[in-house]
Amino acid sequence: MATFLYKLGRLAFRRRHFVALIWVALLTLAGVGAASAPPAGNSSFSIPGTEAQKAFDLLEQRFPGASADGATARVVFKAPSGEKMTDAGNKATVEKTVDELSDGSEVASVADPYTGNAVSKDGTIAYASVKYDVSGMELEESTKDALEDAAQQARDAGLTVEVGGDALQAVPETGATEVIGIAVAAVVLVITFGSLVAAGLPLLTALIGVGIGVSSITALASALELGSTTSILAMMIGLAVGIDYALFIVSRYRAELAEGREREEAAGRAVGTAGSAVVFAGLTVVIALVGLAVVNIPMLTKMGIAAAGTVAIAVLIALTMIPALLGYAGRRVKPAGAKGKRLGRSRKSEPKPDAPKPDAPKPDQPAGQPKANLGTRWASFVVRRPLAVLLLGVIGLGAAAVPATSLELGLPDDGSQPTSTTQRRAYDLLSEGFGPGFNGPLMVVVDAKGSDAPKDAFDDVAGEIKGLDGVVAVTPPAPNKGGDTATITVVPDSKPSSVQTEDLVHAIRDAGGDIEAKTGAETLVTGSTAMNIDVSEKLNDALVPYLVLVVGLAFLLLIVVFRSILVPLKAALGFLLSVMAALGAVVAVFQWGWLSGLMGVEETGPVMSMMPIFMVGVVFGLAMDYEVFLVTRMREAYVHGEKPNQAVVTGFKHGARVVTAAAVIMMAVFAGFIGSSESMVKMIGFGLAIAVFFDAFVVRMAIVPAVLALLGKKAWWLPKWLDRALPNVDVEGEGLRTGDERGSGPDEDRELVRA
């Protein structure tokens, strides 16, 4: 692979005009497609194989024209202090509002509070239910404006009015912190490279890659029913890995220049060596994201595939456009160690092509030799005290993971919205007037097609549910025109996200089994609350198979890369430590409320159901990035004849600074999304940022070198039969070395590599 990528890098360097033209053309094509594409419609949230989805599908079949997936709104009214909603003036205001709401072209129905028993027992709160023909994302702005105007007119008449439901659902905004994240990345790149030009290349290519990926998602959003969160996720991951992949290749290019090579040769070698690591790192991320399909939740699958496509684009751009731009930059990109005058350092002379190759500094550097860098000094410290560093790292991550034992899962509803939103205030008013369970009613669907007495079956189900604990109200069965199916609304006495409501859902389903045995009627529970419960259970059940699939495939891939058994095993175990610690941090902030004000979390509650499995996938892919980039440098040094501990130090000498910069950049990009108005995006941004911190600085920078130092030569052991069976991908670039460069290491080391 190194030879192929070496040729690709040189070709892109020579044919830079052609390469740049191709990528600009692709960006233009994607941009035109996004601009001309129809607006995204409803992002269907189906969960195949769950009872809630089965009931939802049955409703669409047996109640045609009911717009089961249409948007809903609850306009909640509260009377002024000392008054009631049944007072003549207040009643007239509400009825006028109902009439205004009924005039909309997309309105399917509006329920009057006074005819629909929607006034609280104390008479202070009432609500009007509005049903629309289309989903919340498809509602026209004029319809939303009409809803808000009607509410405002009722406020002007003296009532407190708030609007809940998904009719006012808005596209999430990321906020200014995203721009701050990119700015931090730019500063880190300038500090790392000491050159504005070299720092600008990763940013430019990452923005082009993200532009192509996000524009393509926007162009296909309507046809593939992609939600707005999909493009935000693709932007988040694509921007982070795009900058990092380009950073590693530019850094290796500057190192090759410092070795005295011509620019085209340096570009080829940079792509052949660092580019090989980029390919395999990108593959692990793609495997992790595409593997989300095993959960069998279409929305999650689409999000994973879209983000994986953006990562693939980032890899291709790093391998082709970076060497092309390096050709354009010419001498403005300096060799490693050469800084420009503008950044406050004198300009060193660029090494001649025939300059001798400098010796790598050793951890025990004698006097007169160049001073060892921070990465070298840290690695030397770790290999001298590996057990202490290992124990400290493992105990620290274990302590951070403790909150994860209290993890509670759920999906966000209006109760998790900030108190400044009208949706949240409507939620609180309904809880005040009708009880906490009123915000999450359960819809029971009774399919009596196989029953001899459907009406009796409907009554039996309603009577059975009334006798269950935790039930506040049960509406009379509402049959369809055919009389073979009915819906029953059940109001729990607990809030939608509580354990008590989950227990009630299971109790109704258990009771339905007994009723089916007696009457032949099937009882199904659906509604948003039941759907959330089913999603959480489905995600929990899929977590172990997903881990086995993703970690297993990546483990095999890393065996090919490192030609070792223990190094990939150590990488996987280190990942588990970092992801558990990151989950613990998410629980502490978003569920317990620690530092919630600093993170902009206005309301704590259960962690999103998809957060654990999503973090497992994305963090695993990103963790393997640093593993590949750092450890391939160590293996390269070991294969070329260095002792195991010295190879660890050499790997840190060349890679620690760049990996540190890459981790800081990725953290900055992810942290930029904490400012999003969407709770899901905010939580993902924080979770990924803290996971990168744990994995890069604790696992890869401390635990990995400590374990390798303890293992010594055993770390690189591979059975002879497996060595013969595995393809030689040559990630360390051995095939690119000339005869003079092929040093003869100790015989025992070379024999161990072959073994």
Render pLDDT for 19-49 as a digit per residue (tens, 0 to 9): 999 999 999 999 898 888 776 555 556 678 7
Q: What is the pLDDT of residue 362?
A: 46
Question: Span 197-216, mean pLDDT?
Answer: 88
Q: How many residues does the chain have?
A: 755
pTM of the model: 0.76
**pLDDT confidence band for 747 (50 / 70 / 90):** very low
Decide: 188 and 194 in contact? Cβ < 8 Å: no
Question: Span 239-268, mean pLDDT?
Answer: 88
Q: What is the pLDDT of residue 386?
A: 93
**pLDDT confidence band for 15 (50 / 70 / 90):** very high
> DSSP states of 419-486 as a string?
TTSHHHHHHHHHHHHH-GGGGS-EEEEEE-TT-S-HHHHHHHHHHHHHTSTTEEEEPPPEE-TTSSEE
**Pairing between strand 607-608 and 409-410?**
parallel
**pLDDT confidence band for 16 (50 / 70 / 90):** very high
pLDDT tops 50 at residue 107: yes
In three-state secondary structure terms, 540 is helix
Helix (H) or strand (E) holding 164: strand 160-165
Report which of residues 654 and 67 the model is more confident about: 654
**pLDDT confidence band for 349 (50 / 70 / 90):** very low
Q: Pull the structure tokens for residue 113.
A: 């509070």
Taking the C-alpha atoms of residue 555 and residue 524, their distance in angstroms, rounded to an integer, is 42
Q: Pull the structure tokens for residue 486.
A: 């009915």
- Computed on alpha carbons and rounded to an integer, the radius of gyration of the chain in Å comes to 30
- pLDDT tens-digit profile of 587-598? 998 888 888 777
Question: Span 420-437, mean pLDDT?
Answer: 87
**pLDDT confidence band for 357 (50 / 70 / 90):** very low
In three-state secondary structure terms, 382 is helix
Taking the C-alpha atoms of residue 554 and residue 285, their distance in angstroms, rounded to an integer, is 9
Decide: 231 and 206 in contact? Cβ < 8 Å: no
- pLDDT tens-digit profile of 112-136? 888 877 889 889 999 888 888 876 6
Q: What is the pLDDT of residue 347?
A: 41
In three-state secondary structure terms, 127 is strand
